[in-house]
């Protein structure tokens, strides 16, 4: 079969969407990262069931807990917005509405990430 693509396009492998497998791969990488991170988070929250403010504050303030929490939140929201983008692309067929809702989801994800990281840092650094 004749290949209509130029050699350079084939080497770049970016395909029709212009981003290759970047989106797909990022979703898998964050998925793998989230297996241990989400298990750690759930087990920790279960162990802390009924903990008061001081206990919870002291827990988050531990350096390795702050680090894992920030990683968990970044990986979760990156994974979530990648997934929501696919869902919107599948079900919203109006081009303008589709782009608007994808951008809105990404904007909300960025706001949530920055807010959560700031909150963890505030607790960790004792602000």
Partner 1 sequence: MTAHDRPLSPHLQIYRWHLLMTMSILHRASGVFLALGTVVLVAWLLALAAGPESYARMNAVIGSAPGLVFLFGWSAALFYHLCNGIRHLFWDAGQGYELPAAYASGYGVLVATVILTLAAWGGACLILGGV
Q: Where along the sequence are the contacts to partner 1 (CB under 8 A)?
A: 28, 31-32, 34-35, 38-39, 42, 46-47, 49-50, 53, 56-57, 60, 69, 73, 76-77, 80-81, 83-84, 87, 112, 115-116, 118-120, 122-123, 127
With tokens 């990648």, the residue in question is: 82
Identify which of residues 5 and 55 has a Cβ nearer to partner 1 in the complex: 55
**Angle made by CA atoms 124, 111, 78, in degrees to the nearest 5:** 85
Least distance from partner 1 to the Cβ atom of residue 83, Å: 5
Query: Using an 8 Å Cβ cutoff, are 124 and 66 in contact?
Result: yes
Least distance from partner 1 to the Cβ atom of residue 99, Å: 19
Identify which of residues 9 and 45 has a Cβ nearer to partner 1 in the complex: 45
Instruction: Specify the DSSP element, H or E, that contains 21.
Output: none
The string of DSSP letters for 27-58 reads HHHHHHHHHHHHHHHHHHHHHTTT--HHHHHH
Identify which of residues 9 and 118 has a Cβ nearer to partner 1 in the complex: 118
CA pair distance 41, 46, nearest whole angstrom: 9
Least distance from partner 1 to the Cβ atom of residue 8, Å: 28
Least distance from partner 1 to the Cβ atom of residue 7, Å: 28
CA pair distance 63, 61, nearest whole angstrom: 6
């Amino acid at each position: 079969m004749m290949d209509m693509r130029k050699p350079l396009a084939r080497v770049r492998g970016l395909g029709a969407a212009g981003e290759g497998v970047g989106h797909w791969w990022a979703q898998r990488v964050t998925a793998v990262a989230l297996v241990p991170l989400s298990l750690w988070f759930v087990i920790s929250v279960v162990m802390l069931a009924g903990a008061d403010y001081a206990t919870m504050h002291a827990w988050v303030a531990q350096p390795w807990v702050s680090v894992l929490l920030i990683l968990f939140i970044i990986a979760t929201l990156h994974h979530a917005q990648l997934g929501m983008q696919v869902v919107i692309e599948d079900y919203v067929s109006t081009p303008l509405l589709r782009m608007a809702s994808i951008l809105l989801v990404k904007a909300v994800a960025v706001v949530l990430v920055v807010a959560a990281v700031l909150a963890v840092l505030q607790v960790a650094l004792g602000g």
